[in-house]
Structure 1
Amino acid sequence: VTFDLVGRSNLINRSGAQLIGVPPTGAIDMAGLLNKRYELGRLVGQALSDESYVQDLDIPEDETAEIKVPLRISTFPLLETSGRRIGVITLIKDITEVVSLERELRTAERLTSLGTLSAGIAHEIKNPLSAIDLNLRLLESEVLENVHDGDTKEYFRILREEIGRLNAIVDNVLRFSRPSSAPGGPVDVAGILQRTVDLLAHTCRERAISVDVRIEADSCVLWGDASGLQQAFLNILLNAIQSMHEAGSIRVSLDISGGDGPDRSCELTVQDSGCGIHARDIERIFDPFFTNKSGGTGLGLSIVHRIVSDHKGTVQVSSAPGKGTRFVVRLPMAAQEVLS
């Protein structure tokens, strides 16, 4: 986009017009630009008034803009052949994919380092925990031979229950920290998804949650670990269920994206009507031990991210408080020659 010295655009291409939110044949002045994209307008105004230019400056999504995408901005002086300045050239680039890749990289780095640390801690805890469990059972059998009151039995029951909970947490930590070791094979994603939904049918009925499942793909087969993928789908659906404190709905769909090309993928979408997630928490939901749920371990979605990454896939989340949450998981499909 080029602006003259009074701040009115005199040349704008189709992509620039779309990102700003004006017709391709239209024009925009500084007041309009500040109204549509304030930070972009401020940078152009700064270049016009102070001759202060920027190069590859990233600005975050603008919630007030028509197209909510992060931008990379560069401004340069627009000069005549004589060298006289007659305006400002502004380069605007949509960096949604760059930001997404950077976020994935940061998440992967955090998960790798935390996974190594968590595995060491879990192994250190597992051995003494097993010893405590064994000795508790021996003690219980001795004590209850001579003591028959209900309170003592209840104390032992609580201790066993809490040791079981600790064991479950440690097992989750180990599951998160180690890559999948299960042998790969052809996986019918639609079949796994339907079985996972069936597993949770009773829970959903009890909580008055309706589940709408739409499987649009006739054949969605990939090469991977069926057990691991079922665990990932289960964790996503449990997250959706737990986000609703009263009756609600979950929409689940499975389709194929990418046409017939090399990017052909199984695409699973899970949309719930739950409480939603604050924007400040979106980037942290895959971090181990991060949770806003009372009694949660913060490992469910970390395990999802690990399993999906092991299958060379991606998982994306969009959400807003009070408007529910949408998970989109994309898993590369196996080539026909691999399946054969």
Structure 2
Amino acid sequence: MISQFQESLILPRTFQSVAMDTTYEDVLEHIDSGIMLFDEDGVLTFANKQMFGILELPRLAIMGCTITHLLANIQLNRFKKKQMLRGYREMVQKGKPNYEFADEYGRYWRVSLHSGEQMKGSYLFTFKEISDYKLIEQTAYQNDSLAMLGKLSASIAHEIRNPLTAIRGFIQLLHPHLHQLGKEEYAKIILAEIDRANDIIHEFLTSSKPSAPQIGLVPVAALLKEVVLLTESEALMKGCQINLQPLQGDLIISGDAKQMKQVVLNMIRNAMEAITERGDDLVGKIEVGARRDGAEVRIFISDNGKGMDICTLDRLFNPFFTTKENGTGLGLSVSDRIIKNHGGCISVSSRVNEGTRFVISLPLIQ
């Protein structure tokens, strides 16, 4: 059984304009939240201009509508219809007072439902953007994760590295004997795996407390040319083409050249993996370049790989989060910390099956 209001929201009704005090209406028109007011018959009697902007529909397209009419509106895109249905189920059918969602532009919204005797049978939905709150929440989560990582890495690094060093030494001593037995390949595999374990430990230590930058003048053009040269052969083996855009020679930043190289290398290798994981016959392309934007330089790395959805983008820089089978989830977390230590930031945009674009913003030396 559905409630009287649930039924009224769904069933078509004849809209009759309800007079509202013009002072109150003017106030509601200028607040930063979206508002929708349904009467006791489930007919939308008021919506402010912020709400029209959220729905991306003109006023005449929704006034006097029920939920059914709104969902049938061909001007309302599929994503918004899906979120509207979910919100209806959560708040109207399940009785929850709030519902949160991320829209197709990556913005976060909280929808609240106000009803009861004080509303005189009407139902008020408010839509408030909470993207800033979510950003603060994610930053706090990252800081907590990094603090935990610092304690964890400090306690395990010493205990693990000592036995690994001993194992490596004994394997090197056994190497001539394995060579005589024709099993030299075993020694190479063991040494390679020990080195990989050491690299993972190093990543843990770097993530928890990246070393202080060795500051110097870094020409952006020379930096990108060197990184592209280092990755070109690996890209060709994976069926990718790296295209370095023409660069201005006067773009110079202040920072640690090794750390900057680490960040760009990490992003190019991520791009190669994203192209490989796409799994079709499309020729993989990676674009690398930089341009001046006021007092900053924007370094970009874009690819036509598998792309990422909104949920993945939200967690991309969180420590330990990875979509790779053998990933540690630390590469982008480390990169983000390095760039912040240099007074910059990393932004990312992506679409599933279209590709991803990373932009590193850093202050220029004037």
Q: Distance in 2 between matches of 1:105 and 1:84?
A: 38
Contact 1:220–1:256 under 8 Å retained in 2: yes
Q: State the partner residue of 1:128.
A: 163
More displaced 10-residue stretch of structure 1: 32-41 or 305-314? 32-41
The residue type equivalent to 1:181 in the other structure is A
More displaced 10-residue stretch of structure 1: 275-284 or 179-188? 275-284
Q: State the partner residue of 2:110.
A: 72
Q: Distance in 2 between matches of 1:312 and 1:283?
A: 22
1:242 Cα deviation after fit: 1.8
1:234 Cα deviation after fit: 0.4
For 2:196, which of 140, 160, 165 is the aligned residue? 165
Contact 2:219–2:249 under 8 Å retained in 1: no
Structure 2 unaligned blocks of 5 or more: 1-34
Structure 1 unaligned blocks of 5 or more: none
* Structure 1 stretches of at least 4 aligned residues deviating more than 6 Å after TM superposition: 41-47
Q: Secondary structure at the match of 1:244?
A: helix
**1:23-38 mapped onto 2 (5 Å cutoff):** 23=58, 27-28=62-63, 29-31=65-67, 32-34=69-71, 36=76, 37=80
Contact 1:180–1:228 under 8 Å retained in 2: no
Q: Secondary structure at the match of 1:183?
A: coil
Q: Identity rate of aligned residues, in percent? A: 29
Q: Distance in 2 between matches of 1:198 and 1:161?
A: 24
Contact 2:210–2:334 under 8 Å retained in 1: no
Q: Distance in 1 between matches of 2:287 and 2:313?
A: 20
Query: TM-score normalized by structure 2?
Result: 0.69
Q: Distance in 2 between matches of 1:251 and 1:270?
A: 6
Cα 1:187/1:24, change in 2 over 3 Å: farther
Q: State the partner residue of 1:114.
A: 149
The answer as to 2:134 corresponding to 1:99 is: yes
The residue type equivalent to 1:95 in the other structure is I
Deviations 1:260-279 (A, max 9, x none): 4xxx5433332222233455
Give the CA RMSD over aligned residues: 3.9
Q: Distance in 1 between matches of 2:61 and 2:179?
A: 87
More displaced 10-residue stretch of structure 1: 296-305 or 69-78? 69-78
Q: Secondary structure at the match of 1:103?
A: helix
Q: Distance in 2 between matches of 1:105 and 1:229?
A: 25
Deviations 1:53-78 (A, max 9, x none): 95xx4521255xxx663213345579
Contact 1:244–1:274 under 8 Å retained in 2: yes
Cα 1:41/1:89, change in 2 over 3 Å: farther
The residue type equivalent to 1:252 in the other structure is V
The residue type equivalent to 1:193 in the other structure is L
For 2:224, which of 193, 217, 229 is the aligned residue? 193
Cα 1:42/1:282, change in 2 over 3 Å: closer
Q: Distance in 1 between matches of 2:179 and 2:235?
A: 40
Q: State the partner residue of 1:3.
A: 37
Contact 2:235–2:241 under 8 Å retained in 1: yes
Contact 1:3–1:87 under 8 Å retained in 2: yes
Deviations 1:214-273 (A, max 9, x none): 36777544433221111011001001112223641112343345xx4xxx5433332222
Cα 1:268/1:89, change in 2 over 3 Å: farther
Q: Secondary structure at the match of 1:275?
A: coil
**1:77-88 mapped onto 2 (5 Å cutoff):** 85=120, 87=122
Q: Distance in 1 between matches of 2:311 and 2:87?
A: 26
For 1:234, which of 265, 276, 287 is the aligned residue? 265
Count of paired positions:
316
Contact 1:254–1:268 under 8 Å retained in 2: yes
Q: State the partner residue of 1:271.
A: 302
Cα 1:158/1:46, change in 2 over 3 Å: closer
Deviations 1:255-308 (A, max 9, x none): 345xx4xxx543333222223345554444444454443544443223222222
Cα 1:256/1:278, change in 2 over 3 Å: same
Cα 1:216/1:7, change in 2 over 3 Å: farther
1:199 Cα deviation after fit: 1.6
Q: Distance in 2 between matches of 1:14 and 1:215?
A: 45
Q: Distance in 2 between matches of 1:148 and 1:275?
A: 43
Q: Distance in 1 between matches of 2:308 and 2:38?
A: 43
Cα 1:115/1:272, change in 2 over 3 Å: farther
Q: Secondary structure at the match of 1:200?
A: helix
1:111 Cα deviation after fit: 2.8
Q: State the partner residue of 1:15.
A: 50
